[in-house]
Amino acid sequence: MSGQPLILGIETSCDETGVGLVRGCELLGDEVASSVDQHARFGGVVPEVASRAHLEAMTPTVRRALDGAGVKLSDVDAIAVTAGPGLAGALLVGVSAAKAYAMALGKPLYGVNHLVGHVAVDQLEHGPLPKPAIALLVSGGHTSLLLVNDLATDVVSLGDTVDDAAGEAYDKVARLLELPYPGGPPIDKAAQRGNPKAIRFPRGKWGDGTYDFSFSGLKTAVARHVEDADRGGEPLVVADIAAAFQESVVDVLTRKAVDACVEHGVSTLVISGGVAANSSLRELALQRCQEAGIELRVPRPRLCTDNGAMIAALGAEVVAAGLPPSTLDLATDTSLPVEHPLAV
């Protein structure tokens, strides 16, 4: 392991400034500076606020990651950075910093895909990913099913959300229920006390023959339920609403993910992204995977949310595959397709 290159990964696609250090599949350093508290009063991420927070956090976060790994900046062999998808201003801060480090150190630069990074990070927890694998990526901005033949060169999109991402729906429903932002953890916590059968919420694109997702209708159904209760003077049972909403989300996610594994003859499912930390999603996915004879791999919660380790992990795969580095005129791409693990 010590003979493999040391990769510094930088992640700034949204509101976390992440810096990770990886050698092969070994995680050496991982530091994150989050600006989520600055966005909470707005009920969502404010791009300009996020960009300024990245500027302030970049240098100290790099320093903490190096100190935590017990290495020096001069020890780094390559720089990997999120080139997309993400917020334009936030991406620009990370890519600019990565270019500066690469130029100062005389090391190669690799602009990589944020979404594929969420899959690659699982290798830091469970070792090399079997080929092929199915990945369910569930976060605040993305809900995707991927066929991963090779992390560095061959990732195929099987389906995506046609409207709200699952994490986005959690945030919007939390606002309806007057729960804190971000909505995932408080809804998950409230759901533990509720009855998921108390209300039957719709399952978007259930059984439609595709691997696409839709959560906008579910969000609207929760809004109507809250409005009807208010209009009728009935008390809101927040725990029951949270539990029923969450069951609807995880039911669709896990069913489509397992169906994709069966259809493509794949025996490994990886679930990643911020929503992968959800307890109900993990429990139902494990149950359905065991019933179908599928191995389930879910990184620990710290690695599910945005972080620099996942970018370093993907960078390590790209370097190992012998792919050419990015040039110093590397551009950001707010909608970089998942089929491009390495930005071009």
Per-residue pLDDT of the chain (344 residues; tens, 9 = 90+): 468 999 999 999 999 999 999 999 999 999 999 877 787 777 778 888 889 999 999 999 999 999 999 999 999 999 999 999 999 999 999 999 999 999 999 999 999 999 999 999 999 999 999 999 999 999 878 899 999 999 999 999 999 999 999 999 999 999 999 999 899 999 999 999 999 999 999 999 988 999 999 999 999 999 999 999 989 998 899 999 999 999 999 999 999 999 999 999 999 999 999 899 999 999 999 999 999 999 999 999 999 999 999 999 999 999 999 999 999 999 999 999 999 999 97
| CA–CA separation, 306 and 182 (whole Å) | 14
Beta-bridge partners for 112? 82, 342
Burial 73-93 (b: 16+ CB within 10 A, else e): eeebbbbbbbbbbbbebbbbb
Give the CA-trace dihedral at 334, 34, 143, 322, to 10 degrees.
60
What domains are there in the chain, each with its CATH number?
Answer: 6-121+307-320 (3.30.420.40), 131-299 (3.30.420.40)
pLDDT of res. 300: 94
Q: How is residue 257 written in tokens? A: 């993910």
| CA–CA separation, 6 and 23 (whole Å) | 5
pLDDT of res. 139: 87
pTM: 0.95
Residue ranges of alpha helices (H) inside 29-183 are: 36-39, 47-69, 88-105, 114-120, 123-126, 166-176
pLDDT of res. 344: 75
pLDDT of res. 48: 87
pLDDT of res. 47: 81
